[in-house]
Amino acid sequence: MPDIIQLLPDSVANQIAAGEVVQRPASAVKELLENAVDSGAGEVQLIVKDAGKTLIRVIDDGCDTDARMSFERHATSKIRTADELWHIRTKGFRGEALASIAAIAQVEMKTRLRENELGTCIRISGSKVESQEPCATPPGTSFSVRNLFYNTPARRNFLKSDQVEMRHIVEEFERVALAHPDVAFAMEHNGAELFKVKESPLRQRIVNVFGPKYNERLVPVKEETAIVALHGFICKPEYAKKTRGEQYFFVNDRFIKNSYLHHAVSAAFEDLIPRECHPSYFLYISVDPSSIDVNIHPTKTEIKFAEERSIYAIIRSAVKNSLGKYNISPTIDFDQEDIFNVAPMPKNVEIGMPQPKDFNFNPFDQAKPQAPRPASANLGKGGASFSGNWQELYAISERETATQTEFPEGNEERMPENAAHREGLRPVFQLHRKYILTQIKSGVIIVDRQRAHERILYEEASERLCSSGTQSQQLLFPETVHLNGPDCALVQDLADDLNKLGFTIDNFGGNDIVVNGVPPEAEGIPAQDVVENLLERYKHSSDDLQSNTRERLARSMALSLSAKEPKSMQPVEMLDLIDRLFACEHPQSTPSGKPVLVKLSLDDLDKKFKNQ
């Protein structure tokens, strides 16, 4: 009887390990870049084709490696005993990365010491060594990964679009480049150079990676205690983003994710940024390696701290101190009396005597004459505010209801056309500059202004992307917008669809673009803000939409241009917004499924009052 339990072949075991270590092309990029840094390289170059699906090549000038042995599982030069795990300062140490990559790709490695004339070239395909021979190669190591997941088609089918996979590769590249400003890095994709950063101080490295606009945004942070040494930069509160953008923690030069420490930074920004916004930061933590455990996750992006609460308090305090030290936090001037802080009167303006008021006036006393109603309270004209007594409000509403156009039964949510013609027929109100209330035959509907705007913009953008024509607002003076390398490449990839949305963009050279026209909805907004916000939303959209580029783009357009801040609206504006909303295919919800409006029937209201 054959044994039921058997040892797996090395090739199968390596593929299983690869599932933990190499989940997508970006995973292989991370491992290879970290190996290059660990080799003592002063320059590292990353070359990618087809978002890493066809080729990933990392070239460094570090020391060579044992070509054959490096591909064995658990082969490592970083540790010798289990105790050394508590003193790790290198990136890789478990000896799984190269074996895992070689199990699911066609790999070629060339490596040479400086003092040797010849190096070694080894080729491995699916864990099988195909050749090993001397070769002429520059000092250092060149590692090429071709046809990732070629022998595991099911895994390859789970990969997203090239744009999505490339975004993940750029993220890994940025993390390694930010962790090591003392190393020069370069990156190219399909022959186009995306990054080329020289060895530099940390602030310059951040600026080189994310663009010159970041130089004025950065505020230094520094704190040293017996537990932890902290340094780095935070971005000023006014540059907080709606999406989680540049948020980087590095522990002993290793990028980590830690929601607890992120909360410490967010708590320091409390009351300085809106709740829905997120601060940007680049914080570097140095601790005793024996006080952390870096071996709890296959990708080593999660670690455990022995003094986590203390580190939380130190980070929060250090960030708050920096915000205060550099006059970022709001302050109160107790020496200034606000009562005298008024604008001077214009010249040649006479000040009239104040008119006496009827102090005996009682708005609830119908026997007394009532003061004239201000124009702003003309609810018969759809006014959004009211100044007068409740009896007057009731009388106005009653008159409006008697003369207004009613909805046919079964079509109560379909609004009449042409808001301007209906002004004066249908009362409309604004609540807290956020909600719009209007009457329908069976009750009232309450519309969320911002969400309604988002739904309208989304459907308009979707329609433009499916049509051949474009609507663009040409700028009187074209604006030059500077982007980082990946964003500039993304603009080029999306050029045709951006043009359909209304953007007229020319490549100025390098990472600069010239915006000659923008969508009509973006008129009056700086082109830099429009483009940056759109790209930011697009890059951080949810993964379930990655296969549909145009849907993601339409969503991003709607989110970036929909009015977020509370706004006072004229009656005709509110009616027009409602008209446009109910002309949409799905007016009841946003593209992400959030409700846009709430309907309250008369029966619902009657029940509320009967229960009292």
Confidence of residue 59 (pLDDT cuts 50, 70, 90): very high
Torsion angle defined by CA atoms of residues 133, 136, 138 and 142, in that order, rounded to the nearest 10 degrees: -40
Q: What is the pLDDT of residue 459?
A: 94
- Write the pLDDT tens digit of every residue in 487-530: 887 888 888 999 999 999 987 667 789 999 999 989 888 898 89
20-34, 328-342, 395-409: range with lowest mean pLDDT: 395-409
Model confidence at 427: pLDDT above 90: no
Instruction: Give the orientation angle of helix 527-539 with respect to helix 485-493, to 10 degrees.
Output: 80
Average pLDDT over residues 231-246: 87
Question: Rounded CA gap, 527 and 384, in Å?
Answer: 32
Written as one letter, the residue type at 407 is F
Q: What is the pLDDT of residue 405?
A: 40
Confidence of residue 250 (pLDDT cuts 50, 70, 90): very high
- Write the pLDDT tens digit of every residue in 107-137: 999 999 888 899 999 999 988 999 999 999 9
Question: Rounded CA gap, 488 and 485, in Å?
Answer: 5
- Of the candidates 241, 272, 278, 274, which has an alpha carbon nearest to the alpha carbon of residue 259? 278
Q: What is the pLDDT of residue 365?
A: 56
Confidence of residue 463 (pLDDT cuts 50, 70, 90): very high
- Write the pLDDT tens digit of every residue in 538-585: 887 754 444 578 898 999 999 989 877 777 888 889 989 998 998 999
CATH architecture type of domain 10-197: 2-Layer Sandwich (3.30)
Model confidence at 69: pLDDT above 60: yes
Question: Rounded CA gap, 80 and 89, in Å?
Answer: 14
User: Under CATH, to which class is 379-612 assigned?
Assistant: alpha beta
Model confidence at 262: pLDDT above 70: yes
Per DSSP, the three-state class of 174 is helix
- Write the pLDDT tens digit of every residue in 144-188: 999 999 988 888 888 888 888 998 999 999 999 999 999 999 999
Share the mean pLDDT of the chain.
Answer: 79
Region class of 436: left (phi > 0), else alpha (psi between -120 and 50), else beta: beta
Per DSSP, the three-state class of 378 is coil
Confidence of residue 345 (pLDDT cuts 50, 70, 90): low
- Write the pLDDT tens digit of every residue in 468-482: 777 888 998 999 988
Model confidence at 273: pLDDT above 60: yes
Q: Where are the beta strands (DSSP E) in 389-543?
A: 428-431, 435-440, 443-448, 473-482, 504-509, 512-518
Question: Rounded CA gap, 482 and 28, in Å?
Answer: 30
Structure tokens at 198: 């020289």
- Angle at 565 (CA atoms; ends 559, 566), nearest 5 degrees: 130
Structure tokens at 142: 């060149």
Q: What is the pLDDT of residue 88?
A: 57
Total residue count of the chain as it appears in this document: 612
Average pLDDT over residues 232-241: 92
- Write the pLDDT tens digit of every residue in 186-203: 999 999 888 999 999 999
Question: Rounded CA gap, 216 and 482, in Å?
Answer: 14
So where are the chain's domains? 10-197, 204-325, 379-612
Using the CB atoms, write b or e for 21-52: b if 16+ within 10 Å. bbbbbbbbbbbbbbbbbbbebebbbbbbeebb
CATH architecture type of domain 204-325: 2-Layer Sandwich (3.30)
Q: What is the pLDDT of residue 269?
A: 93
- Write the pLDDT tens digit of every residue in 75-112: 555 544 555 554 555 655 445 778 889 989 999 999 99
Q: How many CA atoms lie within 13 A of 518 on its CB side?
A: 25
Model confidence at 421: pLDDT above 60: no
Highest mean pLDDT among 211-215, 433-437, 547-551 belongs to 433-437
Backbone angles phi, psi at 509, to 5 degrees: 115, 145
Confidence of residue 346 (pLDDT cuts 50, 70, 90): low
Question: Rounded CA gap, 503 and 522, in Å?
Answer: 10
